[in-house]
Structure 1
Amino acid sequence: MSGFRTAQANFCRGELGPQLYGRFDVDAWGTALRRARNVIVLKYGGLSKRPGTQLVAEVLDASQPVRLVPFQFSLDQTYALEMGQGYLSPCAMGGRLLEEELAITAISNEEQALVAMDWHGLAVGDLLYVTGCEGEIGALLNGRAWPVRAVVDANHLRIAADTRDLAPFTACAGGSTRTAPPVAAPPPSVPPVTAAPTPPVIYYGGSGRFGRGELN
């Protein structure tokens, strides 16, 4: 006697646990998979191949342990949260979420590269994330966050990147050019410390005894 197989078009329940492999009496059994690898279960019940991966960026601080935590705010808003020592950097849509992309007009060939950006507004210790630069300098700097080592003036700063042996800077695409210094955001308001509330007065019952009889 030969067996037969029925077509299954709905996989909305995803992958079953081992405890449900033989539970054909459960509703989820007919709309699930025993094993699903490299696929994405669509909300309408179908399946789609998992897309490939690509290098978005290096972690901000590779000297410390880092965790990547997936976070889904809604059906069309998903993030990868890079959690390191004392920082959190969200990534989405194939890149990092940045404060503002500024145009880089020049990068020098020095032990600590001199970067030209109009009204950069950065300070020593901040991180400069570089992307869009061409040539050998771009191959070194792109996709990485570089610590600011020195602030020369409002339009120039030095980063911890040795570019002495690279070809000269040609161009860097993307970004806007500031025409005035950035407006610093006001510090968040901190509510004043309130005094602790007065603890309630607790009354304890007496220790007297009632004699025999009934209370009306």
Structure 2
Amino acid sequence: MLDFSVLPPYADLLATGALWTVLITVLAGALSVVLGVLLALVTLYGPKLISLPLRGIAFLFMGTPLLLQLYLLYYGLAQLGVLLPAFWTGVMGLGVHYAVYNADIFRSAIQSVDEGQMEAARSLGFGRTAALRHFIIPQATLTALPQVGNNSIILLKDTAVLSVLGVAELVLNAQRGISATYRPFEFYFAVAVLYYLLNLAMEWALGRAARKAEAIR
């Protein structure tokens, strides 16, 4: 029989896991946006000597599982003498993985901005970099926001993969409770509910941001 009374003593453990999950999502999400914009700009405006290899690396990230990438990053860096905590390895791995997908979104969004915007900015004395920073990228960001937001929701759910590295996010903390109580269904059900609530909160925040973006436009 199900016995959800085993959960209250481990409420703090699950809450801590949820907080770590949110923190990982925020940090990795921010990294994915920054790197995504940079990758998009290099692909569009950088020399082919740089942009072509970057495209090859992007296809590599798109064509391999996230879990494999995390293993390569975690153990590969260690063999090179770079010892990163599992937490930061996970943040970096998730950030880079989703940066590749966000780069495609930002590239399309930048290309959707009317070319006259760049010409107008240049006629006012702005250089290309300044024009991109002050005019093109802000407009492209508003266009890309819904799709980048969807990627952020997927990223939130993919934080569970970091449990294999020993990062104390929601799933790993639930497994610790399971190992003490031998009640897997109750804990995994609670984790599912917490993920659902986190998704609802993120969807609400992203929807509000999208409405503000539409108002600005």
TM-score normalised by L of structure 2? 0.19
Structure with more of its chain in strand, by fraction: 1
Structure with more of its chain in helix, by fraction: 2
RCO (CA 8 Å, sep 6+): is it higher in 1 or 2? 2
Larger Rg: 1
TM-score normalised by L of structure 1? 0.19
